[in-house]
Structure formats: C-alpha cells, structure tokens
Amino acid sequence: MFAPGAGRPLGAVALLLAVAAGLIAVGVLPHPLAAIGGLILIAGLWAFLAWFFRDPERAPGPGIVSAADGKVRAVDREGDRWRISVFMNVTDVHVNRLPLDARVTEVADSGSGFRPAFQPDAAHNVQRAYSLATPIGPVEVVQMTGVLARRLVSFVGEGWSGAKGARFGMIVLGSRVDVLLPAGRAEPTVRVGDRVRAGTSTIARETP
C-alpha cells in the first residue's frame, strides 16, 4: 500500500520508464548501452519512490503510541507537558499516525528556516502543529521540517476525528515529529535512542 498522493510521482516515473523502454524497443535511441543504463536509472528511481511512499497496514499498539517511525531523540518535561521527539530518516515509513483516539481542533503552521532536524534549534524550523482533543486532555503533534524534508503533508483538517493509529499526514524525506502530552495524565515509557514505529510502538502510558 502507498501513502495518499503517491500515485502522481509513481505514475510519472512509470510513464517515463515505459516511454524509454518503447524507444529502445523500436531502435530510436542511437546508443543502446547508454539507453539501457538510463532505463536502469529510471527503474531505480521508481523503486526508491515506491519504497519511500510505502504505507503498510498496522494494528494499533497498547497505550499511547508513536506518531512517527524513527528513533527517539528527546524525552523532556516542559512545564505541564511531556515532549517526546522522534527523528525520521529517509529509510523510515513517512506516514504519521494519531497517538490515541482524537479530534483535530486546530492545524497551525509556524516557524522559519530548515535546520537539521536532530539539532535543538530545529524547534524553530517551519512546522505544522495539530491540536488534538483526546480522552486524556489536550495533546499536540508537531510535524517539523529539516534540511532536506521541506514538505509537510496533511491528510486531515480541523474537525476531523480518528481512532488511535489513524493516518493524519506525512513528511517528505524524513525529519522530526514531536508528541506533547499532559504530564498529569501521561508518563513516558521510552528513552532516547529507542526505535519506534508509528501507530504500534507505545511511547507513554496513561496515568490516573
């Protein structure tokens, strides 16, 4: 299964591949070896895009789950909230999922610049925050850009409701996703360096 929006780039490269193969077949291209090399490069590009836009089906895990695939880069107490930050690299699944049952109350863009997402000052990068109404109170999920990842994709808008593990967006070419949880209702269960998967890996447990 591919992420929403993958059809256009995959289709464009597939069409280019078909045209190039047709030109080779009818002998239009004068240098067969070079043409075949180009064909291999185009096929490799399609394979990379197919891998990048993959979107496997997943059953929601227990507790409060990760919103992104990747490595936990920070678990910080910020006033009355926990911030659990996950860094995504180019090989991770890039579709983001709800950490728990939620209704989107606001989607807001902010920030400027495209610093490396693993650095502390990346908190000021271009970003998109999803404010969520959940059973444990207000939760926020923030998609953050990086040096290469400059396209934030939303599948949903204000007023949308979804179950834990439902897809709400993606980031093209990696970067970072932060989940901010009310400290009075949630306790982190992950540590820096842990590998997590969106929708299935537990990152926190609900507290009374």
Q: pLDDT value at position 6?
A: 43
**Count of CB atoms within 10 A of residue 88's CB?**
27
Looking at residue 10, its pLDDT comes to: 41
pLDDT of residue 89: 85
pLDDT for 148 equals 66
Supply the pLDDT for residue 149. 63
pTM score of the predicted model? 0.77
Find out whether 143 and 152 touch, Cβ atoms under 8 Å. yes
Q: Are 191 and 202 in contact (CB under 8 A)?
A: no
How confident is the model at residue 3, as a pLDDT?
45
Edge-first strand listing for the sheet containing 95-97: 95-97, 167-172, 151-154
pLDDT (tens digit, 0 to 9) for every residue of the chain, 208 residues total? 644 554 455 444 444 445 555 545 555 555 555 555 555 665 555 555 555 567 889 999 999 999 999 999 999 999 999 999 999 887 888 899 999 999 999 999 998 877 776 667 677 788 999 999 999 999 999 999 877 667 788 999 999 999 999 999 988 777 899 999 999 999 999 999 999 999 999 999 999 8
Tell me the C-alpha distance between 27 and 30, whole Å.
7
Per-residue model confidence (pLDDT) at position 14: 44
CA distances from 158 to 100, 102, 168, 179, 183 (A): 17, 11, 11, 18, 24
What does the DSSP assignment read for 17-83?
A: HHHHHHHHHTT-SS-HHHHHHHHHHHHHHHHHHHHHTB-------SSEEPSSSEEEEEEEEETTEEE
- Options 66, 85, 131, 175, the catalytic residue: 175
175 in catalytic set: yes
CA distance 59 to 61: 6
What pLDDT does 2 receive?
A: 41
